[in-house]
Amino acid sequence: MRVLVVGSGAREHALLLALSRDPGVTALMCAPGNAGIAKIAEQHPVDIASGEAVASLAKKLDADLVIIGPEVPLVLGVADAVRSAGISCFGPSAAAARIEGSKAFAKDVMAAAGVRTAHSEVIDNPAKLDEALDRFGPNWVVKDDGLAAGKGVVVTTDRDTARDHAAELLENGHPVLLESFLDGPEVSLFCVVDGETVVPLLPAQDHKRVGDGDTGPNTGGMGAYTPLPWLPDETVARIVDEVVMPVAAELVARGCAFTGLLYAGLAIGKDGPAVVEFNCRFGDPETQAVLALLKSPLGQLLNAAATGTLDQVAPLEWYDGSAVTVVVAAEYYPAPPRTGDVIIGSDGDGILHAGTKMVEGQVVSAGGRVLSIVGVGPDLTAARDDAYGKIATVKLPGSHYRKDIGLAAVEGRITVN
């Protein structure tokens, strides 16, 4: 099977590494890729937002399966174009990708499916903002209703901060979603979905804020770990039964069946799981940790979903132990980052590239999140030690990373009511 992966981040690097372990995958290609991906896959330039360009490239490369990593091409309908060209594609249609592309659509789907989530209101008129803010709090959750690369959310106890963020979004022409605050630890559960067939992967926990102790602004994700020692197995089954399967069935009923990776972000409170958000693709940085423990062949799993045979796949097998991802970010990130610096120690097992490129034979930084460092071990403590040991070998001027990925779980500070 010849596989083309669309994207250029550490998520795509992780997908390609896992695909390289699948004996059924005979050729690996990536468009456009990055400096690290170049070592394991053919790379091809492409406008990932153009369905015509991606489909044309897939045909030229004689790809049997196209896997679309980022959310933007999915929301724009690139998967539709690939399938229209007669090529199997792992990724939802534009209609189904609205589960991430429009939070208002996602809320409507969840209401119809009877799925627990936060109370919300969409505000598109600045004149109505103050009155709406008065209906929320003391913790305000303010979101961009569209795509924001994980950085369009402000959670604050300061009303002025909430108002400023909402006003800025509205000024830029973006509708605002106000939500009630959901308590409890957060969980990311990835599910491979083919219509109403749902296959869950290992649950993970992302660390969104830039600083240790969950301080500072939200980012696209500074690290993750899996599995979650504090999360009972029955809770994962409950998420599948009460959240993912009803949403998948509702999308089928609406004529936009989901084919691809449905990502449920949840808060686990005293009343059980409640949805914070849905994404229509593999999450970053959770993917890097989750796929490090996958023993089953990834290419065959994703191809089964893409070809409508997911219900025939054998139960997934996983390696024992834990995996941790720590993101090494460029100076100033999540503000506009410093780029163009040479990276020392960018090769090696468990060092996945995100914002990198090759310049005159050297790997240099080319984005905000530059590398994802993946550690594995028999338990979470060992996996953390492995990850941070690898980070010590990497040198990037001005870079920063969180020192506490997975630490609260190791110290037993996360509990489910």
Angle (nearest 5°) at CA 214 between 208 and 215: 105
DSSP result, 345-387: S--STTEEESSEEEETTEEEE-SSEEEEEEEEESSHHHHHHHH
Which pLDDT tens digit goes with each residue over 358-378? 999 999 999 999 999 999 999
Which pLDDT tens digit goes with each residue over 250-308? 999 999 999 999 999 999 998 899 999 999 999 999 999 999 999 999 999 999 999 99
**287 belongs to a structural domain:** no
SS3 of 134, please? coil
Which pLDDT tens digit goes with each residue over 134-177? 999 899 999 887 775 555 789 899 999 999 999 999 999 999 98
**39 belongs to a structural domain:** yes
Positive or negative torsion for Cα 386, 9, 15, 196: positive
Do 12 and 75 sit in the same domain of this protein?
yes
Using alpha carbons, select from 319, 368, 358 the residue that is nearest to residue 18. Answer: 319
What is the average pLDDT across 212-232? 96
**78 belongs to a structural domain:** yes
Q: Which domain holds residue 19?
A: 2-93
Q: How many domains does the chain have?
A: 2
- In whole angstroms, give the CA distance from residue 271 to residue 400: 37
Q: Which residues contact 361 (CB under 8 A, 6 or more apart)?
A: none
Last residue of a domain, one of 130, 147, 179: 179
CATH code, 139? 3.30.1490.20
**112 belongs to a structural domain:** no
**49 belongs to a structural domain:** yes
Total-model pTM: 0.92
Do 86 and 6 sit in the same domain of this protein?
yes
